[in-house]
Amino acid sequence: MQQKTITVLIDETGNSSVDLDGFAGHGCEKVLKDFQGDDFAKVQRKKPVFYSQTSEGQGRQLKSGR
Amino acid sequence: MSAYGEFETMIREQRFLIEGLTEMGYRVEEHPEGAALIGYHGDERPERAEVIIRRAQLDSASNDIGFVREKDGRFRAIVSEYDRSIGYDDKWLGKVHQHYKEKQTLGMAQAKGYIFRGKEVVQTPNGPQIRLQFVVR
């Protein structure tokens, strides 16, 4: 299983970027929110793996429900 | 890879502001009710602040630098025109935010159980950037 890592880069003005690796589905949203804290969000986006793993998970649920 | 965000740092937590300023080498006064800033003549200025760097640590003609908590909970820096002109400017305030954000991130991560894996300082043409890495327990 891929390790879930969080990389925070704080630039010279004090603003930050947060990059999540190895997360699948909605678990990453809480983690991103933790690292955002009270800060103002300028950019937030899901990466392709988020969508592919989410849709794979949904597919499995549908199959097992039959 | 799963998500990415960019955030503008808001200084709201006094203890991390103090920790950051202390790491920058300042002895900081905390005044829960606010205290007057002192000008370069030794005169009491009308501005009050909860967090103060006294002028003796700055330049011989400096005024105190204060951080006052606004109604929305954010801290705003009070820096005189003179002090801005001798280097306590936006670049310096950027460093204050950078130190604050590092302390705030480490404090939050520890409190919420993230495992700290390391810190790296990355030199760029605009100045040093701080990279922190964590893993999920």
How many A-B residue pairs are in contact by the CB < 8 A criterion? 150
pLDDT score of B116 more than 70: yes
ipTM: 0.93
Q: A10–B102: do the CB atoms touch at under 8 Å?
A: yes
pLDDT score of A65 more than 50: no
Q: B126–A12: do the CB atoms touch at under 8 Å?
A: yes
Strands A16-21 and A40-46: unpaired
CA distances from A14 to B9, B57, B129 (A): 6, 23, 9
Q: B133–A6: do the CB atoms touch at under 8 Å?
A: yes
Answer with the residue of higher pLDDT: A49 or B87: B87
Rounded mean pLDDT, B38-43: 94
Among residues 33-62 of chain A, which lie with CB inside 8 Å of chain B?
34-50, 53
B/e letters for B116-129, b = 16+ CB within 10 Å, e = fewer, are: eeeeeeeeeeeeeb
Q: What confidence score (pLDDT) does residue B10 get? A: 97
Percent of chain A with pLDDT over 70: 70
pLDDT score of A23 more than 90: no
